[in-house]
Structures are given as C-alpha cells and as structure tokens.
Chains A and B, each alone.
Chain A
C-alpha cells in the first residue's frame, strides 16, 4: 500500500492474555518505530528498528514487551500477560532512513494505530 498499515485497528482482550500487533511499513523504508499513546497523552517511544536490528530497546516499558522485524519489512509488537495499564493506542511509523527526521528522507510516516483495550 501507499502508507503505513497497522492491524488490527482495534483489539479488546482480557487481562493476562498475550497480544500481537502488526505493522506494515511503506515499501523501501529501512527504519521502523513503535510508539505508545496512552489516553489523552503524547506519544511515548518504545523501540526503533534499522533493517531487522533494534539498536535501541530502552523504551520498552517491561520485559513483557518484545518486538521483531523480519525481512526488513513487517514488524510485530508482542505484549505478554497483558495488564490494564497496557491499554493505549500503539502507533507505528516508518522512514526511508533512520536519522535526520527533519529531512525528506528521514521523515517519519505514521500509521493509524491499534487501539488496545485490556478488560
């Protein structure tokens, strides 16, 4: 597709279950980012991929969170043993290159997010 695609759009699950969120970046974009947006808040950086590697995992809030990227394309964010505080919108972004976000080639393009609700 032309833009960043995220699925599912909405996810409701019970506390304690595992969830998997998917992000399809723009074709050819080497960098991919995950952010979390809690209700009424700005975005919190979670993790960044350059190709299939994640040089910076410092934003992941706990060891229940993990992410991978395969083939330099699709990424999945997995949350194990979900808690109610995990409820948020999870946004994915991609960019052609993983630096100089203020430039055309470094600009981050965002998907529509996955709204995760933990009951």
Chain B
C-alpha cells in the first residue's frame, strides 16, 4: 500500500521569505509521480509542481522547487519569496497506480505581511 505523510499540520512564513514544507511517502514501485497541490479557500485543487521518480533533477516552477530524495522517500517543497497569495493548504500527492492519487494530510501555510 502507498502512503503519504505530511508531518507539519501548519506552517507560517513572513512575506518575501522562504519556507519549506516536508513530505515523506512509502511505495514499493520504482516508477511513480509526485506532486504538490495547493488548495485555497475556494476549494479548487491547483497543481503547483510535479516530479517524475525516474528523473534525478529536482523540478522547478518559478518560485516553487522541490528537493526529491528517492532513497529516503522524501519530497519537500520550497517556496521562495513568499507572497500573500501563497497562503493555502498544500498537499503532497503520489501516483503509482496509474490514475489514483494518494494524498497526504496537508499543511496549512500562513503568510504574514
């Protein structure tokens, strides 16, 4: 069975500063995808960044980057130059069944002006 664990229920960051959200996962597969999704109060799930397990290079999307440690089964999200609009729930997500997504419990990020 696959599991995704986010050990930080809440995090806060000062505007313009950098914050890192942690995620660990467990799977017996060698080929899988990892994602970070953002869920603002509007409830819509928004894809922030994705990583293919067979790629060693860490994914980057503008101010968002990941630190993917395959051996340690760790997948953290770094948000640089935090903005007020970054405040949301962040979910670490894994797909190793081809279509079914497994979600972590989420981390609520607060951004202080």
Contacts and interface: CB of A to CB of B under 8 A. Distances in A.
Interface of A: 31, 33, 35, 40-45, 48, 56, 59, 89, 91, 93, 95, 98-102, 106-108, 110-113, 115
Nearest to B52: A102
B44 interface: yes
Nearest to A4: B44
Interface of B: 4, 33, 35, 42-47, 50-52, 91, 95, 98-106
A48 B99 contact: yes
B95 A102 contact: yes
Contacts of A35: 101, 103
A103 B44 CA distance: 20
Contacts, number: 63
A110 B95 contact: no
Contacts of A45: 100-102
Given A93-B45, A107-B47, A42 B33 contact: no
A2 to B, nearest CB: 13
A56 B43 contact: no
Contact of B99 (A40, A99, A115): A99
Nearest to B95: A101
B106 A42 contact: yes
A43 B104 CA distance: 8
Contacts of A43: 45, 91, 101, 103
B100 A102 contact: no
Given A48-B99, A101-B95, A102-B95, A42 B44 contact: no
A95 B43 CA distance: 18
A102 B99 contact: no
B43 A113 contact: yes
A112 B42 contact: yes
Contacts of A102: 33, 35, 50-52, 95
Contacts of A40: 106
Nearest to B32: A102
Contact of B100 (A48, A100, A115): A48
Contacts of B4: 42
